[in-house]
Structure formats: C-alpha cells, structure tokens
Amino acid sequence: MKKKLQTIAVFIMVLALGFSVLTTASFATDINHVKHSEGNVEIQSIAQVMLSPDLHEVVKGLLIKGTKVTVVEKNFGGWYRVTADELDGWVYGIKVGDKLYPMDSISDEEKAKYEEEQDRIEHESAREALVTDIIAYAKSYLGKPYCYGATGPNSFDCSGFLYRVFGDMGIDVPRSSRDYGSFGTTVSLAEAKAGDVLVFASSGGRIHHVGIYIGDDKFIHSACSTGVTITSIYDEYWQPRIYLVKRIIQ
C-alpha cells in the first residue's frame, strides 16, 4: 500500500500532472453539510488529496490508480474524506459503488450530469426543509375555528388558512380558493408531495375548498364543521371532491 502512496511537497503543482482545474465556484462547499459514511473504495486514476474541500487549500499528497482507501466522510459537493495508511485528506470526485473517480478523470459531459444531480439533490433537500417548516407551522393552528373571510390568527376560512400559512413563510398564494384552479403546477394525486395544495370542487367543477397535503394520505385544512383539522384523503366526503393537486413549492 505504502508503495502506491506518494507524498508530495506543497510546492509541487498538480498542473504538472495534467490536472484540469475547475473553477473555485464548482468546488465551493459548506463544511457544515458534511455527512458521515464508511466504506472502502478504489481510486480509478491519480487523485490529489487536499487538506480540506477547497482548491485554495494545501495539497497533502497523491493517490495513484488502484490505491484502496477508506471513505470516512462525504458532503453534497462531491468531496470525500479518505484515509490510506498515514494519509488523511479530501478527494473531489464521483463514487460509483466501490470505485472513486477523481473529477479530472471523467468527461465534461459526465461532470455536468453529476453536478446537475448534486444540484437536484440539494434543491430537493432545501424544499423538504421548507415544507417541514410549513407543515409544522400549519399544525400550530390545529383546533382554530372556521370563520368565513378570516385569515387568522384566531380563525380562518379555507383559503384564508393557506394564505396565512404560506404567506408567513414568504410564499405568495391566492386569497380565493377559486384562483387555485389556474395557480401553481398541476400534478396527479399519485404524484402529490407534502406541501402541495389539494383543490376540491363540486361535481360541476366549481372549486369550493383547498387544503395542504402533508403526506401519508392526509391533508390539513380549515373546514366549516371542524375548523383547522387533519383529514384523510380517503375520507368519504372529501375523496370524491378532490379536483386538482397544485404544486406551489417547486
């Protein structure tokens, strides 16, 4: 193992090895997002090992192709903290199964696909965090009575409840339930995610009620008879009246 591990001094520039340096922005990371993991991987080409996930940091050493290392940490930016004998540092790349491909060893197209997927993961993570806050906030009003025309905080009508909950989270939504018919992105009920808006209508298609889908086949809403409550989408009254599912938070 030690024969494969080559330690280099700070003044040896990795450019001499033909490393294609990406922009600093591509490598920018927030160390607070580090996630723990474990596993042995094999390096698939020469990899530079950094002191930390930042190209401005000092190069600690090199790992040649075929070196087996242990991944002890990772983060969303594509950085992996690896150990091999006495060397402990960060490698930037793509992990596929038990193989770690340093970023300079793959094509620009593969890099773009990888970075696009990382952006998608981070976006979805941010959405989930926002939706969690929205649902928790909505639940804080459970039991508040229904009142036509009210937007809280002590009573609500159906659209007033959504207007208050989304609005206080910085998201503009219609004040009238009818306007949800042309607002947001329509998805199927099977595609519904927590945070989507359920729109209810009469058999003739007249929209008369809205609620927030909270997952697990349930939604929270302000109904005339119950006030703010949580109801199953399979409720015998509400299920046949589900008309649209609207995605407000993309």
Residues designated as active site: 158, 209, 221
* 28 φ/ψ angles, rounded to the nearest 5 degrees: -60, 130
CA 4 to each of CA 43, 54, 70, 118: distance values in angstroms, whole numbers, following the listed order: 11, 24, 15, 31
Token digits for 197? 């808006």
Q: Which of 102, 2, 122, 111 is nearest to 59 (CA)?
A: 102
Q: Could you tell me the sign of the dihedral formed by the alpha carbons of 56, 58, 64, 69, in that order? A: negative
Contact 77, 27 (CB under 8 A): yes
Which residues have CB under 8 Å from 207's CB, separation 6+? 177, 178, 180, 181, 199, 200, 201, 243, 244
SS3 category, 116: helix
Q: Label the pairing between strands 99-102 and 35-43.
A: parallel
Which residues have CB under 8 Å from 74's CB, separation 6+? 34, 35, 36, 37, 80, 81, 95
Alpha-carbon distance of 197 to 243, in angstroms, equals 11
